[in-house]
Structure 1
Amino acid sequence: MEKSTILVVDDDKDIRDMINIYLVNQDMNVHTAANGIEALDILENTKVDLIVLDVMMPKMDGMKACMKIREKLNVPIIILSAKIDDADKILGLTIGADDYVGKPFNPLELLARIKSQLRRYKQLNNNFKALQEEVIQIDELSINISTHEVFLKDKQIKLTPYEFKILVLLAQNRGKVFSIASIYENVWEEDYVASDRTVTVHIRRIREKIGRDYIKTVWGVGYK
């Protein structure tokens, strides 16, 4: 089985080294960077399966790096930060992160989250690769399931894996209303927690990219 490759970005060498030890012990390839600029340089020439990204770093912080990465890549990003307020977590999700872990953290918990994100990401990619080419056309929006591409008119829209999966779920079931819990359980394939705002944040991000007309809110029920 092909090894997973992880990029760990943190200005604290001790943290980089500690995460590296845990990942290497799990038979993963690891690259490290001390700031966002170094991370972007590595990503120019290296294919990675997941990025662990600190927020507070010199030269280029994690939030700006996350936005830059999302312009080109859809791999899972786990934010590390000492800022653990809900507003900071929502900001991290809004700019493209898939998970958010507060500092100080338990290395075993971080490892479990990395494995979980890798499992979902690879399963998602495998599922789409297994499908025959299928294009869903809704007005000026074109969704190609097999190539994982979305176009609005002639402009390609960059979506994260989970944004894409939400869009496909709703597009393949036009007219059907999905509750927030149903969307979460279909896309993330785990039980929904009532206080979790992940779905609403992802819906907002999709609307920012393709416009509000394609995903309708059915008040008190969900989205279609």
Structure 2
Amino acid sequence: MTEIQQETISSGPVGTQRRVLVVEDEPTIAESIAARLGAEGFKVAVAHDGPGAVDGFHTWQPDLVVLDIMLPGFDGLEVCRRIQAQRPVPVLMLTARDDETDLLVGLGVGADDYMTKPFSMRELAARVNVLLRRVERAQQAARTPALGSLRFGELEIDHVQRRVRLGSGDVHLTPTEFDLLACLAAQPRAVLTREQLLAEVWDWTDASGTRTVDSHVKALRRKIGASWIRTVHGVGYALEAPLS
């Protein structure tokens, strides 16, 4: 196991104290990410290989993981599988290849978002903050029973438990996939643009991440079935809820 290096950078705002595990085998990149997140007020630990990442996750209990796909020992996809089996946690995956297959596999094993290298540290910090805000919103929603459940034929979306059932079985979604489905379900059959979905689900105020929406829709379709989400080419997506 690679030893986990814990470092708290004191220049960030006081009181945040969220824990982030950075898993990156290139020391320069790992140090840059740790420094930037430390400046944002996070406690940061660094692992440099697959086994060290899994061990560090178990012992350090981070609130979020920044995870490179290409790692020694075993890759980031296997790390993601193993840590999500221990405890659901938001994962921001890093990839050196702009390969849609890799991205879909990453989303399929539990990653919530991804960035392709090279990327700006400013954007990475923004993505981390967005993912953690989404977790906070989910926790708040779980304490608000009024949200209740929505049912569309065989598809049931339980906001309180953040569970999705299709027929008699549960569908295991990542937090991002759940939020995307819930956003579409809030306005069934209405077409939501990619820009609307980026704003509602990802808290992004620009249209630079439309491919992120497309990738997550593909991953969601793999889990609930393609027929539930209709593509309106050049515009966006709609939940194809059956007419009552």
TM-score over 0.5 for the pair: yes
Contact 1:66–1:97 (8 Å) recurs in 2: no
Partner of 1:216, secondary structure, is strand
Contact 2:20 2:44 in 1 (8 A): yes
CA distance in 1, matches of 2:187, 2:52: 42
2:115 to 100, 119, 122: 100
Give the fraction of aligned pairs with identical amino acids, expressed as a percent: 30
Contiguous gaps of at least 5 residues in structure 1: none
Distance 1:201 1:106, change over 3 A: closer
Q: Which of 132, 138, 141 is 1:128 aligned to?
A: 141
| SS of residue in 1 equivalent to 2:160 | coil
Separation in structure 2 between the aligned mates of residue 29 and residue 194 of structure 1, nearest angstrom = 29
1:203 aligns with 2:217: yes
How far has the Cα of 1:98 moved from its partner?
Answer: 0.6
Aligned residues: 221
1:7 aligns with 2:28: no
Match of 2:203 in 1: 189
Scaled by the length of structure 1, the TM-score of the pair is 0.79
Q: Offset at 1:195?
A: 7.0
SS in 2 for 1:146: coil
Shift of 1:92: 6.7
Q: Relative to structure 2, which stretch is displaced further, 182-191 or 21-30?
A: 21-30
Counterpart mapping for 1:1-224 below 5 A: 1=15, 3-13=17-27, 15-70=29-84, 73-81=87-95, 83-85=96-98, 87=100, 90-91=103-104, 94-95=107-108, 96-103=111-118, 107-122=121-136, 124-132=137-145, 134-193=148-207, 196-219=210-233, 221=235, 222-224=237-239
The alpha-carbon deviation at position 154 of structure 1 amounts to 3.7
- Note the aligned Cα RMSD (angstroms): 3.1
Return the offset for 1:218: 4.3
User: Could you tell me how far 1:167 is from its partner in structure 2?
Assistant: 0.9
Once the two structures are TM-superposed, the CA of residue 149 in structure 1 deviates from its matched residue by: 1.4
Deviation at 1:140, TM superposition (A): 2.5
Post-superposition shift, 1:209? Answer: 0.9
- Equivalent residues of 1:74, 1:159 under 8 A apart: no
- 1:70-91 Cα distance to aligned partner (Å, 9 max, x none): 456543322234x243547744
Q: Equivalents in 1 of 2:30, 2:222: separation in Å?
A: 34
Shift of 1:45: 4.8
Which deviates more, 3-12 or 72-81? 72-81
What CA distance in whole angstroms lies between the structure 1 residues aligned with 2:115 and 2:216?
14
Cα pair 1:51 1:75 within 8 Å, conserved: yes
- Pairwise CA distance, 1:100: 0.7
Per-residue CA deviation, residues 146-177 of structure 1 (Å, 9 max, x unaligned), is 12112223432221222111111222322322
Runs in 1 of length 4+ with deviation above 6 angstroms?
none
